[in-house]
Amino acid sequence: MASFKDFNLSRKVQDAINDMGFEEPSPIQASCIPLVLEGKEVIGQAQTGTGKTAAFGVPIVERAGTDRRVQALVLTPTRELAIQVAGEFRKIAKHKRVRSLPIYGGQSIVHQIRALQQGVQIVIGTPGRVLDHIRRGTLKLNSVQMVVLDEADEMLDMGFIEDIESILKETPDDRQTLLFSATFPSEVRRLSARYMKKPEHVTVNRGEMTVPLTDQVYYKVLERSKLESLCRIVDSEEVSLGIIFCRTKRGVDELVEALLARGYLVDGLHGDLSQAQRDRVMKRFRTSDIELLVATDVAARGIDVDNVTHVINYDLPQDPESYVHRIGRTGRAGKKGLAISLATPREFKLLKQIERETGAKMEAREVPSLADVAERQAEVWRNRIIEAIQGGSLGHFRAILGNVIDEYDPVDVACAALKIASAGELEKREEEDYNFGDTGAKPGMVRFFINVGRNANISPSDLVRTISEEAGVPGQTIGKIDIFDRFTFVEVEQESAPFVYEALRKSRINGSRVNLEPAKPRARR
Ligand code: AMP
């Protein structure tokens, strides 16, 4: 197994990686980081979620000096990705005096110019805005040593090829170029052939894998309600012994805290624990003192427990092989287990890749509504009551009831006992699911109103692209689009509506700030 120590990184970068909670390099990082540190050009085939950002971020920060000129340039297709990549760079450079800045359309250019004037070593930007700065003379690329084309296929799909070429011409010929892309259509290959020097190819696909015969399902979840979704899934499943996987040590600690606060029997396992602490946690898990064990991949490797009923990928694994390892922890000893994966809109492509490469069939499931969860719990309690009646030996309890049974209706007595025994678990909860009501859409669809239209230069393809990028909704499932002068209507399938709503209710399309809300039926035209 590779370790971050193998890369001989400086103390400052190594410490930052540790602070981020990474335990070991992901496969794309293990192959990419040493090559980039050696000065090689790299073409990486990787989706979001594989750790590709740190695969180029770590060596770039490692090699950056404190000279206040732009030394590295990362081009990304969208402003969201630029912001996210910049966030990751900031964390990697936490202990080093290396500054990174995202620049993208839609944000005040004056603000960006001021930030650039202060001197930054790493610029992360969308092609249009980067070019804009070059033309204004506010961004100089003549000392750039490294260029990253991130999500190259997306950038080319969005028609950025000319911008990218113009930008590359502004950088020195002896720069080191890295290109990351999920797919390699001919345009991407042409781009790399023209601008890269003897690139090495790196991929996370590892060929043949034997996937255990475990039932596999996935749930589409939203990032901000991931915890609530997890709780509902756990509540609706009879998890007697489950392992929940998180990506980082920090992720494990945070999830354990959150689940404890909600009353789950849970403990965590990761590489920072001492052997004694690990042994204690494992003992609690083996003896079912806890029902849920939250762990990183590294920590879970040593686990040898036979009757794990559920493996839950709270964070998706970073490559198909780790997926296979993880789900192999359940369904042992001839018992059938269930592997559950949670996928946020951004991770959706990675999920599909894992499915493709492992050849596993994952069934899509809907996050149970609160009503479903309640019904499931009710059934569990009914069964417990029936078992207790059938098990007999109730004489002692009858004596405790004494004459309560004569004074009150026996059904009321039973209900009260159930209320006490279930300790709040069965209380009526407010349904807080998305209910968009009648939006004037055709059956099975939800119609949304967007407060901009032709006045913001929005085209149907902008809208389809934004919805599929931001909400992980396939373009072909998007229904009718009506663009008017000052507003727009769009229909999406009911099941993707919460994804679209959460992703776009306050967002930007083409740089314009937009508001999206469920349409009113009367507004139909
Ligand atoms: P990316 O594919 O770059 O979008 O990364 C997906 C997520 O994985 C980000 O939240 C990263 O911080 C996280 N990540 C990257 N590398 C590692 C690693 N080696 N171990 C754990 N988490 C990581």
pLDDT tens track of the chain, all 525 residues?
A: 689 999 999 999 999 999 999 999 999 999 999 999 999 999 999 888 899 999 999 999 999 998 889 999 999 998 888 999 999 999 999 999 899 999 998 888 999 999 999 999 999 999 999 999 999 999 999 999 999 999 998 888 878 999 999 999 999 999 999 999 988 989 999 999 999 999 999 987 666 666 677 899 999 887 767 888 899 899 888 888 999 999 999 999 999 998 998 789 999 999 899 989 999 999 999 998 999 999 999 898 878 787 889 999 999 999 888 999 899 888 665 667 899 999 887 777 788 889 888 888 888 887 777 667 677 778 878 988 998 999 888 888 988 998 898 899 999 999 999 989 887 767 765 444 567 888 999 888 999 999 999 998 889 998 998 888 777 777 888 999 999 999 999 999 887 887 788 778 767 787 777 889 999 886 444
Per-residue pLDDT tens over the stretch 71-114: 999 999 988 889 999 999 999 999 998 999 999 988 889 999 99
**In sequence order, what are the residues at sequence separation of 6 or more whose Cβ sits closer than 8 angstroms to the Cβ of residue 481?**
460, 463, 464, 488, 489, 490, 491
- How is 168-179 classified by DSSP, letter by letter? HHTS-TT-EEEE
Q: Which atom of ligand 1 is nearest to the CA of 296?
A: 21
pLDDT of 334: 60
pLDDT of 157: 80
Ligand 1 centre to CA of 54 (Å) is 7
pLDDT of 484: 95
Backbone angles phi, psi at 296, to 5 degrees: -90, 170
Q: What's the per-residue H, E or C state across 205-256?
A: CCCCCCCCCCEEEEEECCHHHHHHHHHHHHHHCCCCCEEEECCCHHHHHHHH
Q: How far apart are CA 508 and CA 357, in angstroms?
A: 34
Per-residue pLDDT tens over the stretch 197-239: 999 999 876 666 666 778 999 998 877 678 888 998 998 888 8
Cα–Cα nearest to 43, from 207, 176, 173: 176
Ligand 1 centre to CA of 93 (Å) is 15
Q: Given strand 122-125, what is the order of strands in its sheet?
A: 100-103, 122-125, 72-75, 146-149, 176-181, 42-45, 200-203
Q: Which atom of ligand 1 is nearest to the CA of 248?
A: 21
Indicate if ligand 1 lies below 6 Å from the C-beta of 51: yes
Indicate if ligand 1 lies below 6 Å from the C-beta of 76: no
pLDDT of 525: 45
pLDDT of 209: 65
CA atoms within 13 A on the CB side of 103: 27
pLDDT of 522: 64
* Atom 11 (ligand 1) nearest CA: 51
pLDDT of 481: 95
Domains and CATH numbers, the chain: 4-204 (3.40.50.300), 210-369 (3.40.50.300), 371-422 (no CATH), 445-518 (3.30.70.330)
Give the mutation target among 1, 23, 53, 56 for probing the ligand 1 site: most ligand atoms within 8 A of CB. Answer: 53
Q: How far apart are CA 255 and CA 267, in angstroms?
A: 9
pLDDT of 524: 44
Indicate if ligand 1 lies below 6 Å from the C-beta of 57: no
Q: Longest Cα pair distance anywhere in the chain, in angstroms?
A: 94
Give the mutation target among 20, 45, 178 for probing the ligand 1 site: most ligand atoms within 8 A of CB. Answer: 20
Ligand 1 centre to CA of 47 (Å) is 11
Indicate if ligand 1 lies below 6 Å from the C-beta of 247: yes
Indicate if ligand 1 lies below 6 Å from the C-beta of 22: yes
Ligand 1 centre to CA of 326 (Å) is 17
Quick one: which H or E segment has residue 503? helix 497-504
pLDDT of 224: 66
pLDDT of 518: 93
Q: Which atom of ligand 1 is nearest to the CA of 91?
A: 12
**In sequence order, what are the residues at sequence separation of 6 or more whose Cβ sits closer than 8 angstroms to the Cβ of residue 186?**
none
pTM, entire model: 0.71
In one-letter notation, the amino acid at residue 210 is T
